[in-house]
Structure 1
């Protein structure tokens, strides 16, 4: 009986923590746009862009990009693509860069999974979450440069960049 009560208490505490985290997660951001997430001609999910002010530049405010997946993708594919597009968009990026730490947090996804990458301007903090569970967080003056993967001059997908930011 004591073990059952303890398990129920842990579940309730976990749900309460999830609710608090979810409320804080969405605070102050509005959805600006949404677009199909395509790999070549194949649609693999949907990306949604959130910001404090949709009319303001993405790199001057707190933002979040959600990636809802309809296909399975292995972790190595995320890591390889992130590294490639960071190298294309940042002159001094290397695997020794602190931004590379974020890339290492990626895990494989299956249909229905949701990756969220959020940036808090006031704290200069970037956070990666999978299905609302935080995988890692990094505080750095360059943290928002990680979004150059999608918003840089040589992005993952030019059409996705245009659809999310326009």
Structure 2
């Protein structure tokens, strides 16, 4: 019985250590980005899928991510997810959030960029990095996997999460509020 209690305590400590999954800062291109807000994506009430963090050079500025020319959106996954799931979800919500002109100016590059998603395993992360008004990059575990300099796509890609019809309204609300 005593060994079982020790095992449960050690297991519990391990889960608590895993709970802090988002870094407070991210360094990219010799610039520091601070975690301004975060959200945990859940399936149902208990099953956690991912921790998401919005990183900006300055958290005191407006937290409308669509207005920020420099930002990082980090997704740290707690479950395995296939590349096809990322691609279909991104496509569905990009198409819901952009108008015809934006779609025509970014369609080919969107599909090229979107094809960069790879399968991800529990504990791995994606960083979507918007640098200035014209560069969008996707990193997996700090390794660059695709990028675009299509300014229309770079400015509009984040509408998937922050547009009028976001993937998750609760996530949009949480990420647009400064952490206290």
SS of corresponding position for 1:38: strand
State the partner residue of 1:34.
38
What is the number of equivalent residue pairs in this alignment?
A: 144
List gaps (5 residues or longer) in structure 1: 1-21
| Counterpart-to-counterpart distance in 1, 2:168 and 2:28 | 30
State the partner residue of 2:93.
85
Contact kept, 8 Å, 2:31 with 2:57, in 1: the verdict is: no
Matched, 1:126 2:133: no
1:97 Cα deviation after fit: 3.2
Matched, 1:73 2:77: no
| Counterpart-to-counterpart distance in 2, 1:141 and 1:118 | 13
SS of corresponding position for 2:111: helix
1:39 Cα deviation after fit: 4.5
TM-score, scaled to structure 1? 0.78
Q: 2:113 aligns with which of 77, 91, 102?
A: 102
List gaps (5 residues or longer) in structure 2: 1-25
Q: 2:52 aligns with which of 28, 47, 55?
A: 47
State the partner residue of 1:151.
162
Q: 1:139 aligns with which of 149, 153, 156?
A: 149
